Amino acid sequence: MAARKCPYCLTSVGPIEMVTHSYNLVCRGCDRPLEISRISRNIATFVALVAATVVWYWAYNGASAHQAIGWVLPTLYSVVVFGVIAALMLMTMGDLSLKAGEDVPHAAHGDADVAHVAAHADHVDDQPAGHGTHH
């Protein structure tokens, strides 16, 4: 799947929109609720943690240990780097998936889909007991 595309209708989602509305993201093409995939979140978090650790190490070694608040700046720098790197990773390589547990809007269903499901349900109900599948 391509980055920042709806897995259902392949409509592109902008990088800023994806990062700023990550918990209530809705596809503009099919109105389905979307979320950033777990693997994309995990990769972005891991890369951001590595970058924040490197920045903290460099800043801590460069700070004077004799200052009263010498630990503040390395921590501040690492938190800022974590936020920036995680957002940039999601903007560039974030993959979207359909949000689990959300109802699909009725406008997304076509009349043909509803008729097909209704015909399938009638066909299954007409089968004798013990014949749950059809060929």
Domain residue ranges in the chain? 1-37+94-111, 43-92
Distance CA 21, CA 12 (A): 14
- pLDDT value of position 98: 84
pLDDT beyond 90 at 86? yes
**Alpha-carbon torsion 28, 32, 35, 40, what sign?**
negative
Decide if pLDDT at 132 tops 60. no
Mean pLDDT of 16-30: 84
At 108, the pLDDT band (50, 70, 90 cuts) reads very low
Please say whether the dihedral angle defined by the alpha carbons of residues 82, 84, 87 and 91, taken in this order, is positive or negative. Answer: negative
